[in-house]
Chains A and B, each alone.
Chain A
């Protein structure tokens, strides 16, 4: 019956003018289409942000390089950071959450479909505004164009005196608007997860992906909003003559740093928790074992959510806080490693004794485990305030957080793409191309970011547009840049795979991985209404129960 409906749909689709199809996508309120829109939007910005990274790396390839001007370099690192966090990582993770959460909890859509569409278009508007600054940022003064204040926009760089024209305002409003979009989606996800679960789907039986997205959304509510508040204050300063961050009138530049990092550090966990969610879904399926320590995983995630909100000032050890503050933030930053370690052990426990299948999604997950561990270890090093005083503002810090974001988040995302693409597109991704993508990316990643720690330890500061020869940084910087190109090629292979497999890939069928969660019970891609009849579940692995009625999980839980 379902396939008939699908056949009719596709027959209709082929005969329709493209304007109508476009209109349908623009006006859609379907969570699957919005999920895909989020992901495509983020992929476009991933390419843009990647090009900006490549421009910076070409400039730093050798000493005294003149590839771009210092001013342009500042714009590049500002736009790269802002783009990658707000317009790649956030929307792509929201896209996956949008697509997967209703399917996994047996719902037909999100709790508020129109709010969902509104949130996506707010995010899209934010991205547009940020890049419109290249055209509109000159303002009446004719100075500057794209924002060049860094992605954290420290005061007083953003004051009228140092940032004339409108470039900083485009940054502020873009981030503010996309923040409202994020809050809308977070509210929607929480309402969906709490109020739309199918019968039998108790909180204790929910897939970990839904649980972790619930925690992530709760964190968005509490931590994106301080940034929105700070952006409003910045606008008051810039447009109404306020003095929040104006040191000449008694204001404080440090309080902007506090407000920014109260957002900024939990943000990292907002990004990594959905990636933990991917791990927790993919690793069990490719280990042919249920997840190890489900309740502990949930508890550790909630614990990370709480602790991560009291670690922010480890970004600010060098501003001269009291020794009590330094000790407090050192301690909390180290404590957050404990629940994270629990999670890593649980994934290892899931793999231990399992029948491992090394398909592309699993390869990315295994690489994630190693790389995220190293990223966490350098994080523990930087949490020690005396060590941080030595290396803050150096390339060691850049290497550390790119290890988290690329080695952790991006690897997990690629794993998620290979795992769920068959569900979204109905076609399998090409396996040899996937393996090529994986190995190229692993080599490029390690060449770039392993080596990047070293110039940092040798004293190379962040945000410099060039450097003197003969300081022992030259060869390392060249190799780092070569690694960037290898990663770029790997991403091109990935994009080629997405396009090639969409047209030429073998049909996926409902359940290509023999998985256990509800999204694999419907056709690929799922029909608009998801489930013809709302399913009822009795365990954490409803599809296992259906496939093995003689030995269902529900007997043991």
Chain B
């Protein structure tokens, strides 16, 4: 080996870099935001451009209860990960389970609304532009909730098996970031679909 491979031996000052999981999740959130932006733009662009009914004003009902469920699940997951950090596994598991329940309730609410729209109002994805943009945007969000719930469920299973402790709290935080993002997107989707788009 030539001499240049011997590394410089000067004591580096304290060297700490951000946690890669958080950076990667932040990147994923930026990328996902970009996808949602395009769907939101399409929704807003096509508001009122449907050639046939039904229109949002006729058929949409504001899902206040399920919105409260989803948004409060952000609080429960936040406190769950704080309790995990402090090593209180029982409270962590309880709050984590509550998060899953709240998320599932929200998903149930979406399903109920779709069922009503399809069977009572005959609105499907191919009915008109409203149907196309509405089901795509809300469906994209519901897909993200579903993926989030699956991941939360995996952590719950590991937690019940006693495998999630304070040493995993950084990873659990990464998942919590994703869940907060899913909630924040709902605020945008809610505003666009149920407030601006009526």
B27 within 8 A of A: yes
Are A199 and B15 within 8 A (Cβ)?
A: yes
Are B126 and A241 within 8 A (Cβ)?
A: yes
Q: Which residues of A contact B19 (CB under 8 A)?
A: 195
Q: Which residues of A contact B39 (CB under 8 A)?
A: 229, 233
B132 within 8 A of A: yes
Which of B1, B6, B10, B132 makes the CB contact (< 8 A) with A244? B132
Are A250 and B4 within 8 A (Cβ)?
A: no
Are A240 and B125 within 8 A (Cβ)?
A: yes
A294 to B39, CA, bound (A): 39
Q: Which residues of B contact A192 (CB under 8 A)?
A: 20
With A241-B125, A243-B128, A521-B4 known to touch, is A259 a contact of B23 (CB < 8 Å)?
no
Are B18 and A521 within 8 A (Cβ)?
A: no
A244 to B45, CA, bound (A): 10
What total of chain B residues lie within 8 Å of the partner, measured CB to CB? Answer: 42
Contact with B along A518-557 (1 / 0, CB 8 A): 0001110000000011011110001101110000000000
With A187-B31, A199-B12, A546-B4 known to touch, is A255 a contact of B42 (CB < 8 Å)?
yes
With A186-B27, A194-B23, A195-B20 known to touch, is A228 a contact of B126 (CB < 8 Å)?
no
Q: Which of chain A's residues 112-136 have a Cβ closer than 8 Å to chain B?
A: 112
Q: Which of chain B's residues 1-58 have a Cβ closer than 8 Å to chain A?
A: 1-2, 4-10, 12-13, 15, 17-20, 23-24, 27-28, 30-32, 34-35, 37-39, 42, 45-46, 49-51
Are A236 and B136 within 8 A (Cβ)?
A: yes
A183 to B12, CA, bound (A): 34
B99 within 8 A of A: no
Q: Which residues of B contact A19 (CB under 8 A)?
A: none
* A156–chain B nearest beta-carbon distance, Å: 15
* A332–chain B nearest beta-carbon distance, Å: 19
Are B34 and A187 within 8 A (Cβ)?
A: no
A200 within 8 A of B: yes
A1 within 8 A of B: yes
Q: Which residues of B contact A311 (CB under 8 A)?
A: none
Are A2 and B125 within 8 A (Cβ)?
A: no
* A320–chain B nearest beta-carbon distance, Å: 17
Chain B: which residue is nearest A252 at the CB level? B45
Chain B: which residue is nearest A226 at the CB level? B38
Q: Which of chain B's residues 39-82 have a Cβ closer than 8 Å to chain A?
A: 39, 42, 45-46, 49-51
Are B125 and A229 within 8 A (Cβ)?
A: no
Are A2 and B5 within 8 A (Cβ)?
A: yes
With A191-B23, A229-B35, A252-B45 known to touch, is A236 a contact of B132 (CB < 8 Å)?
yes
A545 to B20, CA, bound (A): 29
A242 within 8 A of B: yes
Q: Which residues of B contact A243 (CB under 8 A)?
A: 126, 128-129, 132
Are B27 and A195 within 8 A (Cβ)?
A: no
Chain A: which residue is nearest B52 at the CB level? A249
Are B20 and A191 within 8 A (Cβ)?
A: yes
* B102–chain A nearest beta-carbon distance, Å: 27
Chain B: which residue is nearest A200 at the CB level? B12
What total of chain A residues lie within 8 Å of the partner, measured CB to CB? Answer: 62
Which of A221, A241, A250 makes the CB contact (< 8 A) with B51? A250
Q: Which residues of B contact A240 (CB under 8 A)?
A: 125-126
Are A3 and B1 within 8 A (Cβ)?
A: yes
With A190-B27, A195-B18, A255-B45 known to touch, is A222 a contact of B129 (CB < 8 Å)?
no
**Looking at B23, B31, B128, which has the most chain A CB atoms within 10 Å of its CB?**
B31
Are B31 and A222 within 8 A (Cβ)?
A: yes
* A227–chain B nearest beta-carbon distance, Å: 9
A63 to B154, CA, bound (A): 65
Are A249 and B27 within 8 A (Cβ)?
A: no
* B41–chain A nearest beta-carbon distance, Å: 8
With A112-B20, A225-B32 known to touch, is A510 a contact of B4 (CB < 8 Å)?
yes
* B106–chain A nearest beta-carbon distance, Å: 22
A511 within 8 A of B: yes
With A236-B136, A242-B125, A523-B1 known to touch, is A535 a contact of B34 (CB < 8 Å)?
no
Are A542 and B8 within 8 A (Cβ)?
A: yes
A221 to B37, CA, bound (A): 13
A225 to B128, CA, bound (A): 25
Q: Which residues of A contact B8 (CB under 8 A)?
A: 535-538, 542, 545-546
* B175–chain A nearest beta-carbon distance, Å: 16
A195 to B125, CA, bound (A): 43
A80 within 8 A of B: no
With A2-B5, A226-B35, A536-B10 known to touch, is A196 a contact of B24 (CB < 8 Å)?
no
Q: Which residues of A contact B45 (CB under 8 A)?
A: 252, 255
A166 within 8 A of B: no
With A538-B10, A542-B8 known to touch, is A250 a contact of B49 (CB < 8 Å)?
yes
With A226-B35, A236-B132, A242-B136 known to touch, is A543 a contact of B23 (CB < 8 Å)?
no
For the complex of A and B, the 6 pairs showing the least CB-CB separation, nearest first, are: A241-B126, A199-B12, A229-B38, A225-B34, A242-B132, A195-B20
B interface residue numbers (CB < 8 A to A) = 1-2, 4-10, 12-13, 15, 17-20, 23-24, 27-28, 30-32, 34-35, 37-39, 42, 45-46, 49-51, 125-126, 128-129, 132-133, 136, 140
A interface residue numbers (CB < 8 A to B) = 1-3, 111-112, 183, 186-188, 190-192, 194-197, 199-200, 217-218, 221-226, 228-230, 232-233, 236-237, 240-244, 249-252, 255, 259, 262, 509-511, 521-523, 532-533, 535-538, 542-543, 545-547
